[in-house]
Amino acid sequence: MNIIVCIKQVPDTAEIRINPETNTLMREGVPSIINPFDLHAIEAAVQIREAGGGKVTVLTMGPPQAETSLREAISMGADEAILLSDRAFAGSDTWATSYTLALAIKKLEFDIVFCGKQAIDGDTAQVGPETAEFLGIPHISYIRKIDEVRDDYIKVERLMDDGYDVVESSLPVLLTVVRELNEPRMPSLRGKMAAKKAGIRKMCMTDIGADENSLGLRGSPTQVRNIFAPEVRAERKMIEGTAEEQVDNLIKELKDIKCL
Amino acid sequence: MPVIVIPDKCTGCETCLESCPFDAIEFRDGKAYINEYCNSCMNCLSGCPEGAIIETEPGARNTEHRQSLEDYKDVLVFAEQREGRVVPVSYELLGVGRRLSDELGARLIAVLFGAGEPEAQELVKWGADKVFLCSDASLRKFSDDVYSEMLAKIINEQKPSIVLAGATPVGRSFIPRVAARLRTGLTADCTSLEIDKETGNLLQVRPAFGGNIMAAILCPDYRPQMATVRPRVMKRGEYDENRTGEVITVQIDSTKSRTNVLEFVKEVSEVSVNLHEADIIVAGGRGIGGEKGYKLIEELAEALGGAVGASRAAIDEGWIPYSHQVGQTGKTVNPKIYFACGISGAVQHLVGMQSSDIIIAINKNPEAPIFNVATYGIVGDLFEIVPMLTKKVREVKGM
C-alpha cells in the first residue's frame, strides 16, 4: 500500500502576539512546528504500513526551511520525504495550493492520501477536499476512526456535529483526520537517526509540469485586501470601585435590564 | 514576490516597517527587502513616502480563466438538511443572502437536496425567491460526489455572483470540491459579508493567523464568489408567512457516489447542547489558573442557571475539557449573557462569542482585548470578584 501524507509547517499560532500599537503580528521568536492535525495523519499512515506493509511518503509545499518538518516526519516513521518548493508557489491560496499539491501527488503512486483536517494558521479545512477534486479521487473528511483497510476498500468513521457516520470508499481515496483518530508517537532513537541521514527529494514548478498561470499569487482566485484588529463594542461600560462596589453595581445593571 | 523595492529610490527611512501587517519587510544593507512572509496585501505601497515599493507587474494576476463577471448576478444559498430537516444555519444564510441580493438588485436562490416541498416553502418564507429542490430520498444521506456534481451543475446554469454555505461538517467537506471544480475562490468561516460599494465585489471578513487577527478577503476576478459561514455567527432574517416564490424540481444526477454512508450514529454531548441552548454562559480562560478557578466558574454558572465555557488557553492547559471550548476551533455561541473570566480575548475566542447580547468581562489586565467587545468591564481579580458575585446572585435569587 502506497500512502502519501500532506503536511504543512506552520508558525505555532498559540505563540503569536499582536503589537497593540500597530495591530501587526509579531513573529519574532515564534517557533515553526508541524501542523498539529498533520501529526495524527502521519501516525495513521505509519500504523497502516506497520499492519499491512507498504510505503509512507510525506509531502510538503513550502519554503526550503520546511525540510526540518519533513525530517521530523521521518523520525516518526515515514519512509520518504518530498519538498515541493519554488518561488512561483508563493502567495498561493487554497485553490492554488491544492492544484500544486495534486500535480505533485500525480507524479507518485498512491492508494491513500492523508491530510490533517485543517492547518492552524489558516483554519480553512479546504486544501484536503480541493486536492481530492484535482486528483479526481473521492475524499472523506474528519476521520476519527479507521475500521478496515483492504487493497481496494476502506471503512472509516467520520465525525459530524451530531454524531458520526460510518463511511466506506473505494481506493484511491483522500482522508482528512481529526485529533480523536490516534495519539501521535514520539520519535524513536532509530527514527531520529534515520531522519538525520534521509535524503529529501525536491520538486519544483517544472518537475510537476504546472501551468505558471495557476500557481502562487498569479493563480489564486482570492486575495487578502487588508488585515485589522476587531472593532470595539460601542456601548461599553467599565464598572469601577472596590471589588464589592463593582459586584454590587454589576448586579444592579443586570437587574435594570431585567437579566437577573 | 509580487512586491519589490527599487533600491535607488529607497532612502532607508524605515517608514514602511509599520505599514506591513505581516512582518515581511526587513532592512538589508540599509535598504528595505520584502521577505517570504509577504502576503501581497499591498499595504506597503502607500506606506513608502518615496514610492520605492512597487508591484512587480501591476495586474499580474492571471485573468486568463476569468469569467465574464457581468453574467454572474444572483446570490445562491446551499440549504443543508440533516435527517430530512433543514439545519438552522441555512436560515441564517438566507438572512445574509436576502440582504446581499437586495443590495445587488438580484434574486436569492436556495438549493435543497434530500428534503421535501414543505421544507422548500419554508426557505421561501425565510427569504428565497427561487428554490431548486431535489427531494430524492437517497440525498438525505450526504455524498460528496453527488452533492458536488449537482450543486456545480446548478451554479453553472444559474451563474450566481455569490454562493454561501454553512461551515458545517457537510459544507466544509464538499463545498471546497465545488470551488476547485469551478476554478474559483472560497473563503471559510466568514464573520462578516458586505458588498464593496465601489466595485460591487463581496468583501469577506474572517479570522486569520490562528484567529489572532481579522482579514478582509476578495475574489475579484473569478465567479462565483464563494464563502462559508459558521452556525450562529449571523442572525436569521425575517420570516414572512406571506412571501411567495418558485420551487423548481431538479432530477437526481446519475453520478455514482464512490463513498457510501453505511450508518449514522447519533451522539450528542450534553455539554454542547447546554452551550448552544443556555441563556447564560460563564467562561474561563488562562486567568482561572487551574482547577480551583474552574470550580469558581462552575459555581457562578450554577447560581445563574447557565453553562460553562472556556477559551483555548484553559483547554490547552487541561483545566477544562475540550467539549467546553468556545471560539474558532470550538463552538460558536450567542447567549443573552456571556461572562468572560480571565479570558484575554484573542480573536480566535472573540469570533466564537461576540454575537452574545451582553458580554461581561472580568480581567486583571485593563489592556486585555476582551474589554473591547465587553458590554460591562470589570478590572479586578476574578478570585475575589467571581465568588462574591456568586454569593450575591444567590441572595437575589433567594437560593
Identify the pLDDT of residue B67: 60
Instruction: State which fold the B3-55 domain adopts.
Output: Alpha-Beta Plaits (3.30.70)
Residues of B in contact with A231 (CB under 8 A): 372
Q: What does the pLDDT look like over B137-195, one tens digit per residue?
A: 999 999 999 999 999 999 999 999 999 999 999 999 999 999 999 999 999 999 999 99
Identify the pLDDT of residue A20: 63
Partner residue facing B176 (CB), from A27, A126, A235? A126
pLDDT level of residue A142 (50, 70, 90 thresholds): very high
| Count of alpha carbons within 13 angstroms of residue A244, beta-carbon side | 0
Among the ranges given (A83-97, A228-242, B341-355), the one the predictor scored with the smallest mean pLDDT: A228-242
Q: Please state which CATH number belongs to domain A2-219.
A: 3.40.50.620
Identify the pLDDT of residue B321: 83
Residues of A in contact with B82 (CB under 8 A): 162
Q: What does the pLDDT look like over B243-282, one tens digit per residue?
A: 999 999 999 988 889 999 999 998 877 887 788 888 999 9
Identify the pLDDT of residue B66: 57
pLDDT level of residue B63 (50, 70, 90 thresholds): low
**DSSP bridge partners of B86:** B81
Average pLDDT, chain B: 91
CA nearest A9: which of A110, A119, A103? A119
Burial class (CB in 10 A: 0-12, 13-18, 19+), A98: buried
Q: Which of A21, A224, A258 to probe the B interface (max B CBs under 10 A)?
A: A224
d(CA A186, CA A174): 25
Cβ separation A14–B148 shorter than 8 A: no
Partner residue facing A229 (CB), from B43, B170, B213? B213
Cβ separation B169–A91 shorter than 8 A: no
Q: Where are the beta strands (DSSP E) in chain A?
A: 2-7, 9-11, 17-19, 24-26, 32-34, 55-61, 80-84, 112-116, 139-150, 153-160, 163-170, 173-177, 200-203, 223-228, 237-239
C-alpha dist (Å) from residue B60 to A206, A217, B54: 20, 9, 12
Average pLDDT, chain A: 92
CATH of B270-391, one of 2.40.50.840, 3.40.50.920, 3.40.50.1220, 2.60.40.420: 3.40.50.1220
pTM of the predicted structure, to 2 decimals: 0.87
Partner residue facing A160 (CB), from B169, B219, B350? B169
| Of B378 and B45, the one with more pLDDT | B378
Partner residue facing A126 (CB), from B188, B316, B373? B188
d(CA A113, CA A222): 26
Q: How is chain A split into domains, by residue range?
A: 2-219
Starting at the earlier edge strand, list the strands of the sheet with B307-310: A237-239, B376-379, B358-363, B337-341, B280-284, B307-310
Tell me whether domains B3-55 and B270-391 share a fold.
no
Identify the pLDDT of residue B274: 85
pLDDT level of residue B328 (50, 70, 90 thresholds): confident
Cβ separation B268–A122 shorter than 8 A: no
CATH of B69-249, one of 2.30.40.10, 3.40.50.620, 3.40.630.30, 1.10.1370.30: 3.40.50.620
d(CA A245, CA B284): 22
d(CA B20, CA B28): 16
